[in-house]
Structure 1
Amino acid sequence: MTRDEVRTLLLSFPGVEDAVSYGEPSFKVAGKFLTWLRPRLDDSIVVHLDSLDQRDLLIEMDPATFHYTDHYRDHPIVLARIATVDPVWLKAALEKRWRRVAPKRLVKAFDAA
């Protein structure tokens, strides 16, 4: 994937808007943090997961794509390299995060469409 493709994917979810976090491109939904990109650091996207076990499994299965830094060590978050991440997996992971963060009315409208 490219950064533009990731941006297009994120903006396809209702209510998602461009933002800036830590001087890098980020995305919010209804003012709440959804995710951010790390183009100057390692060209990865921050992906929230359900557990540390899930993160460890992803890294074990594909260490060329998935990694984390000490900052995320104690959090169920993985960094996914944009160039090698599977678009289908990324869409599912981002949709799951969006559903947790988005207002219920947006999720309901999305499901109805």
Structure 2
Amino acid sequence: MVTFDQFLEMGLALPEAGEQVTWETRVTLRVGGKIFAMGTPGTGEVTVKASKADQAELLAAEPEVFSSAPYVGRHGWVLVRLAGVDGGELAELMAEAWRSVAPKRLVKDFDASGGTGATL
């Protein structure tokens, strides 16, 4: 099980990541102004950017933990139930989401340093 605070910690551990409250209660994690993950405290769920192929794989493997995210699921985003996800798996998903929107120089430096964010 992962808490919302741990989710934030994982995201903010990624290079140049920051948080911004949007839509009054939604915390968005961004790099270079682009969102890679988001969630609302107290809901027990977060949304993470993913490729459509990764989304399909996650939904097939663990439908009790992962589902297509409302509104943005058609673009690959995944809704993650925090009570059921492994911390290491969520950290990997967030690192991949970050890679998909981060500037190329940041990704190159991140990968050169071992390419790992915070884990539980």
Shorter-chain TM-score bucket reads 0.7 to 0.9
Question: What is the one-letter code of the residue matched to 1:33?
Answer: I
Which residue is 2:45 aligned to? 44
**Equivalent-residue separation in structure 1 for 2:108 and 2:59 (angstroms):** 33
State the identity %.
31
Question: Could you list the runs of 5+ residues in structure 2 that have no partner in the other structure?
Answer: 114-120
Q: Runs of 5+ in structure 1 lacking a partner?
A: none
Structure 2 CA distance, aligned partners of 1:30 and 1:56?
27
More strand by share: 1
SS across alignment from 1:74 = helix
1:77-98 Cα deviation digits (max 9, x unpaired) = 2100112112222111111121
SS of the residue aligned with 2:20?
strand
Task: Provide TM-score, normalisation by structure 2.
Answer: 0.77
**Aligned counterparts, 1:11-30, within 5 A:** 11-23=12-24, 24-30=26-32
Q: How many residues align?
A: 111
